[in-house]
Amino acid sequence: MRRISRLNLVSKLVIGLLSPLGTALCLAALALLLAWQQQRTTLALALLTFIWLWAWSTPVLSHWFGSRIESIYPQTAITALPQAQAVLVLGGAVAPPSGSNQDIDLGAAADRIWYAARRFVPVRRHCCL
């Protein structure tokens, strides 16, 4: 049991370090460690950290990278999917009220709920929420 929790901790740590923010924090820490010895290397690492964070924060790069990942898994026609007894829909379907609009926003991300609902066949009518 202890080994599983260590593996879980290590996997979360590795995933965190591989994310753009984790990588930038590692580069910034390395730049701070080298600040007293090698000023040119420190400046280069600080600049690289800034460019790395800026690039991943821009919609152009994030949308490009997201579209590359999405293109690996093309959308499947709903008729080609089997009926399901349970459906798990991961978040992102609603946004909180904003501005003068006091209602929740069912934006384009809400489409995944309707798509999942078309695949769901409840065993008992009262179990469908």
Cut 0.85: pTM above it: no
How much is the average pLDDT of 92-118? 66
> Is the confidence at residue 122, as pLDDT, over 60?
no
Residues 6+ apart with CB under 8 A from 112: 89, 92, 93
Query: What per-residue confidence (pLDDT) applies to 93?
Result: 58
Confidence band, pLDDT 50/70/90 cuts, at residue 11 = confident
Query: What per-residue confidence (pLDDT) applies to 128?
Result: 47
> When comparing pLDDT for 59 and 117, which is higher?
59
Query: What per-residue confidence (pLDDT) applies to 98?
Result: 66
**Cα gap 70→78, rounded to integer Å:** 17
Give the chain's length: 129
